[in-house]
Structure 1
Amino acid sequence: MIKALAVTELGKKAEIIEIAYPQLDDDSIIIKTAYSGISIGTEMWIAEGKRADYGPPPFVNGYQASGQVVEVGQHAVGMFQPGDWVTVFCSGAHAQYVKASRHLAHKLTSTASLKACAMFVQPSVAANAWNKAGIRTGDVVYIVGQGLIGQCAAMLAKLRGAYVITSDIATDRLQRSRELCADWVIDSNEQRAVAAIKERFLGGVDIVAESTGFEALLDDALDTCKNKGTFVFLGWYPDRVSFHFNIPHSKQLDAVFPCFIGDYPVREGVIRLIESGTLNMAKLISHELNWDASADVYNQLFTSKRNSYNGIVIRWE
């Protein structure tokens, strides 16, 4: 048996429990977890029961981890070997050992990047979105929301040579965005972003990404796009969404609906950026937890205290 962090009551409680050691199959590898990364976006949708990815509780949440390969399935021989250091996308990442598909595992060049690469999913989501949106050097890009995916999207857009605008309402996220992510940060507590942007960019901007998943923000976000610009549905929406049709219709916008973390080369490229320090994911990690103290913090994510956290990693070694 191994230790794991499990959601035991939807939207209320997580606990350290014991679960069975994962069973290897031909197409997978098993790693001894060094770090698992907590997403306070999609992962909390699951923990609160708004998504049913893992069924009813108790279940081990999380989907990104880094560590050392300890077992290799038959079809993964030649790709990986015991002792390799990797980062993986997997089900139930918050455990001492996890199983991952060989197609969703990536070798690391150094143990120094284990912590940062345990958060590789969020920038991979953003990179996949920008590939689909066709972002170009010199584009003006506006990102609604500066949660972790929004932060990663802003950093990657800047690396592509775009002028990046962001907005949010949380003091901590606004400050982090100013320091690390964007060229211009708008505090939406003080002014409507759409009015501020149109004052500076009269016709709107080239690409707009809504990263929060809050339907109420869509109309203003769509309105900041220029004619024949591109709108990216970067957030995840738990139900049906609606917006005023005539805004994107009259502007003849292109709409992009990215999903998941991109193809293998996209993830490889993101991990290279993280390992080189070009994409500074380490700066986006606000909390590092020991596994035996992780339940206390996780339970705070079910409350308004969630907004005081950014990237979170659990250390399992």
Structure 2
Amino acid sequence: MDRKAKAVVCREWGQPVQVETITVEGPRRGEITLKIAACGVCHSDLSATTGKIPYPPPLVLGHEAAGVVVEVGEGVTEFQEGDHVVSSFISMCGKCRQCVRGRPVLCENARKAMYTLPDGSVRTKDAKGESLNVFGACGVMAEYATMHVDNCIKIDKAVPMQNAALVGCAVVTGVGAVFNTAQMEPGSRAAVFGIGGVGLNAIQGCVTAGAEMVVAVDNNPAKLEMAKQFGATHTVNINDVDDAGKAVKKMTGGVDYAFECVGAGAVVEQAYKCLGRGGTAVVVGVSDPKDKTSLTTLTLPADERTLKGSWLGSARPQYDFPRIIKLYQAGKLKLDELVTSTYAIEEAAQAFDDMVAGKNARGVIIM
């Protein structure tokens, strides 16, 4: 059945988001409709409003959410009404070389569902009946969303929705960069550049993985204090040093792992610079397509350093999302503390402004 829903829509790059009443069509074969309970406000959504992530408007934002199944489409057997679900913006065909080798985040067919559902169509229309694209096959910054089952992961109903929502992006991106991409060894020394929602999760990922030293690097004193709450042992304010990379290296003797969670070539250079011999720098942040990084090539072989990327924490969503939930339930990961502000959907523009101002670990829109 079709449902009316309030949704946060990008109508034009460079303009404030709008809250509109849209129509969300019911599910087709292999799809389910969710009543969204909570949606995180992520920098990637902001990047879609500026054109940094060039998804064409009009676009329903949102990719980090939790909700309840209210309708299932033909052929769906793994979900039923009442199930609690976290959204995943990773589409996977299950058949390409990357999918079958266990790397679904690198699915060779995922680009077909960057701003539509996997079949190339959408279930969202505006008040005039015109189609609306959806961020990352999700479009979950809305009261309802119809999605393909491969973009949905069932979770324990005991987990608060506003916490569970963050697993779909911020948590798995940061924690997964440590667990999956870096495969950190216990007793390591690490540095995290950029202490937003993703950076905080990289920090707690390092702590959970057994790092002996975790240095948080940012220019916001409040964020650096927050980093300590999530397990950072040391902090560096880039405003207090001439060269953050050199400062971290002097402090640590060279880290084993550095995580860039900003999305800027210059910061990648700093993360690489602070590595010790045999160290690995992991680029997590999403940069402008024209951005570039420079490094001294000789250090790659001579020091056996590694520079690698991490997309959604190199996650296998159907495996990693429940794993993260279990770690949270066991007291090994913090989710409650990540939610520093909540907003009504009508306050979406304010939520984005607060994120840009660096006020939140994560702001969450409660439907």
From 138, 142, 148, give the equivalent of 1:95. 142
Pick from 245, 250, 256: which aligns with 1:199? Answer: 250
Shift, 1:144, TM fit:
1.0
Letter in 2 for 1:273: L
- Report how far residue 219 of structure 1 moved: 2.4
**Which has the larger displacement, 253-262 or 104-113?**
104-113
CA distance in 1, matches of 2:331, 2:13: 37
The one-letter code sitting in structure 2 at the alignment partner of 1:265 is: Y
The answer to whether structure 1 residue 186 and structure 2 residue 236 are counterparts is yes
Q: CA separation in 2, counterparts of 1:51 and 1:200?
A: 36
Give yes or no for the alignment of 1:45 onto 2:51: no
- Distance (Å, rounded) in 1 between the aligned partners of 2:194 and 2:350: 27
CA distance in 2, matches of 1:232, 1:196: 19
Match of 1:309 in 2: 360
Choose the corresponding residue for 1:144, options 175, 179, 193: 193
Is 1:35 the counterpart of 2:38? The answer is yes
In structure 2, relative to structure 1, the CA distance for the partners of 1:244 and 1:109 (3 Å cut) is closer
Tell me, yes or no, if the aligned pair for 2:246 and 2:273 is still in contact at 8 Å: no
Aligned pair partner of 1:268 in 319, 322, 343: 322
Map of 2:66 onto structure 1: 66
Compute the displacement of 1:116 (Å).
0.5
1:265-298 C-alpha deviation (Å, 9 max, x unpaired) = 1222122223444311221112101123333433
- Specify whether residues 209 and 136 from structure 1 end up closer, same or farther in structure 2 by C-alpha distance, changes over 3 A only: same
Distance in 2, matches of 1:64 and 1:104, equals 11
Partner of 1:164: 214
5+ residue gaps, structure 1, are: none
Instruction: Assess if the C-alpha contact under 8 Å between 2:47 and 2:53 holds in 1.
Output: yes
Distance 1:295 1:213 in 2: 23
Q: Which one-letter code corresponds to 2:84 in the other structure? A: W
What's the secondary structure of 1:20's corresponding residue? strand
**Which moves more between the two structures, 256-265 or 244-253?**
244-253
Q: What is the aligned partner in structure 2 of residue 23 from structure 1?
A: 26
How many angstroms apart in 2 are the aligned matches of 1:109 and 1:189? 43
For structure 1, which segment, 123-132 or 167-176, has the greater mean C-alpha deviation from structure 2 after superposition? 123-132
What is the rounded CA distance, in whole Å, between the counterparts of 1:127 and 1:293 in structure 2?
29
Aligned to 1:251: 303
One-letter identity of the residue aligned with 2:10: V
Count, aligned residues: 308
Aligned counterpart for 1:117 among listed residues 156, 159, 164: 164
Aligned counterpart for 2:339 among listed residues 271, 285, 289: 285
Which consecutive unaligned segments of at least 5 residues does structure 2 have? 90-137
The answer as to 2:174 corresponding to 1:126 is yes
Following superposition, the deviation at residue 105 of structure 1 comes to 1.9
- 3-state DSSP class of the match of 2:340? strand
Aligned counterparts of 2:263 and 2:234: Cα–Cα separation in 1: 22
Moved more, 102-111 or 281-290: 102-111
Q: Percent identity?
A: 22
Displacement, 1:30? Answer: 1.1
| Closer/same/farther in 2, CA of residues 107 and 74 from structure 1, 3 Å limit | same
Q: Is the CA contact 2:214–2:232 (under 8 Å) kept in the aligned structure 1?
A: yes
Alpha-carbon spacing, 1:260–1:72, altered in 2? closer, same or farther (3 Å): same
Task: Give the 3 Å change call, closer, same or farther, for CA 200–245 of structure 1 in structure 2.
Answer: closer
SS at match of 2:269: helix
Q: Find the residue that maps to 1:156 and give its secondary structure.
A: helix
Shift of 1:69: 0.6
Deviations 1:66-91 (A, max 9, x none): 111111223431x1110112221252
Aligned equivalent of 2:101: none
* Structure 1 contact 205–224 (Cα < 8 Å) conserved: yes
Superposition RMSD in Å:
2.0
